[in-house]
Every structure is written in C-alpha cells, then in structure tokens.
Amino acid sequence: MAVRAAVVPAPGSPLEITAIDLPEPGPGRVRVRLAAAGVCHSDLSLSNGTMRVPLPAVLGHEGAGTVVAVGEGVTHVSPGDGVVLNWAPSCGTCHPCSLGEVWLCADALAGAADVHARRADDGTDLHPGLNVAAFAEETVVRASCVLPAPDGVPLTDAALLGCAVLTGYGAVHHSAKVRPGETVAVFGVGGVGLSTVQAARIAGASKIVAVDVSPQKEELARAAGATDYVVASDTTAREIRALTGKQGVDVAVECVGRAAAIRTAWESTRRGGRTTVVGIGGKDQQVTFNALEIFHWGRTLSGCVYGNSDPVRDLPVLAEHVRAGRLDLGALVTERIALDGIPAAFENMLAGKGGRALVVF
C-alpha cells in the first residue's frame, strides 16, 4: 500500500513529498501508523548534507504512532499498541554498550543502510534516514526502534519524547548533572533548547538564562522556566556574567552547533563550571582555545550525544514528569503542520523562528 512521505533525493536537494511503497513487516519488523513527527534540526542537517546517511532517504526520526502489524518474532508490542520511535537503538554488545554508554552504541545507525521502501512512481530504493523514517503516514522499522508509549501521554505529544525531550532532559540530568540551586544558561531556544530549559527548572536551577538570536522567543523561553533572556550578540557572555554576580553560570548548554555559540557558552561559564555541547555543527565550525585559558578557567567542556540518554530507562521518568505537570510537552510546539509544511519548517528553522514544528497526521 502506498503512503505519502518526505524524501530527500540527494544532499542539498529540495525535499520531495511523494508516494512510497512500504513492504509488509518481515521477521523482527514493525509497521507503525504515525500520529505525529517532530521536525528536528538533525533532519535539516541530513537534508543539506551536514550529516551523512545513505540517500535517497525518507527523513524524520522523532515520532510516535500506533502499531499496524508486526513480523515474526516481535513480542514486546502488538497491533493497536501506541509506540514511541527510538531512532538510535543500542545493540547491547559493542564496547560502549558494555560500558553502559548506550547513547554511543557503535551500531545505533546500522538500520540507516537498510532498503526501507521504494518510490511509487519509479521504484527507486529508499533508505530510512535515521532508522525510522517518521516523515511518512506509515513506516516499517526494526523492532528495536519501537518502545511502548507511556500511559497518560497523548501520542501527538509523545512524539517529542523521541528526540527533543530526551536530548534536553539528558543534557541537564545526565551530562551536565545540574544540581539544585545551580545557575544555567541555555544557548538556542528551539525544541531541544526549550526542553533543556524545562529540564533545568525540574532540576531546581536557581537561575536559568535563555539565549537566542530572536527576541521573539523570549515569551516561549520564560513560559518554559527561563528566569532571564538574552538576545545573542557580541556582549552575551558579559551580560550573563552580570546576571550572575560577575561569576558566570555553573552550567552552559549549547543547543545550536555553531562555533561562535560554543565559544560564547564557554566564556559564559564560571571558573570550574561545565559547558555541555548538544548542537550538531559542521566540520567547518572550528572552535579554538589557548592553553593558558584551559588551565586558568578549569572549566569542563563536553559533548553530549542524544542527551547521554537511555530511552528504555528514561522514557518512564519523562512520562512521570509529564503526568505530574512538571514537563509541558505542548509548550514546545509552536506550529502544527502537514507533511507539505516541512520545507517551510526548515526555512523557519534556518531563520531562527519558533520552537518545535510538529507534523500531525
């Protein structure tokens, strides 16, 4: 049966909304009818070639839906079950997995090389982008890519748990390990940034400074829990130090992936503080430090992959925060769109507009 999907034919090529033919789920596979899919900056990075996966591919990696059918050997979900898509399933056997660092699994993206579907018009083989091909009315994925959706969370909201919220929450709780009373700065107030702000609030941060190039995002940031808002400029680090008794914040989380933003986040962190980089930048984004400042400031600079999260462990925790009213998934969404609206959502992302755009099927 043909379904509509968003396909990127080649790096830098315009996204195409087209019909694709999906196979029936074979052994160890699950067919899912999507309820919603978030438009993430990683999808834009795949589309423009910053991140490389086999192409042509169906994009989309943050989604939730309902199981339509399962293949032989699949026992943890059944037709009719609500599920959250897990775009980076861990193998459990590689070296990082053996250390408990499942977010660094060496085989997490092995499924991206699969032949996922075929274009309905010419039969061209299509790959599943980041494993799950969520920008489609339906998808067929490896069984390890579906997790039971948490009770009490609508599927359209649960879609956000698959990437933005796991990343932002994990950056605060797993990577930076924010403690009650600490001060936090969050650079970039998109879907991941807003999730990070909410996570810092949940962690008990005493001051949360949101930073973005757009003045229009202040209301969104404050609604998520930011106590202060700074419009990014050449004086950002100075402004953040002024807000923190000239010390700088205990923790800075960079959600942009730009060299200048990473450097500013570092300069905004107090002596002995922690700077966590969540944003995915291109290889041309070079960040430089001199040897003396590394010694003098005693700061920790760390990368953060997928929030250093384990979806199996963390989804129930996030669901409890949602049910208790501490985590507001709806507040992350600034636009609900159809598949046809994804290219415009990419343009808004490049222009620094809005939070998370959500494709609702």
The superfamily (CATH) of domain 2-162+328-360 is Medium-chain alcohol dehydrogenases, catalytic domain (3.90.180.10)
- Classify 182 as helix, strand or coil: coil
The average pLDDT across 47-51 equals 81
Q: Are strands 82-85 and 207-212 parallel, antiparallel or unpaired?
A: unpaired
What is the reported pLDDT for 252? 98
- The reply to whether domains 2-162+328-360 and 165-306 share a CATH topology is no
Q: How confident is the model at residue 354 (pLDDT cuts 50, 70, 90)?
A: confident
- Residue 171 has a pLDDT of 98
Strands across the sheet containing 183-187: 228-231, 207-212, 183-187, 249-254, 269-277, 300-303
Mean pLDDT of the chain: 95
The C-alpha atoms of residue 127 and residue 116 are separated, in whole angstroms, by 5
Min mean pLDDT across 37-41, 137-141, 261-265 is at 37-41
Q: 53, 46 in Cβ contact below 8 A?
A: yes
Give me the pLDDT at residue 1, please.
Answer: 73
> For residue range 7-32, what is the model confidence (pLDDT) as tens digits?
999 888 889 999 999 999 999 999 99
Residues 311-335: what's their mean pLDDT? 95
pLDDT in tens, 80-100: 999 999 999 999 999 999 999
CATH 3.40.50.12500, applies to 165-306 = no
What pLDDT does 339 receive? Answer: 96
Ordered by start, the domain boundaries in the chain are 2-162+328-360, 165-306
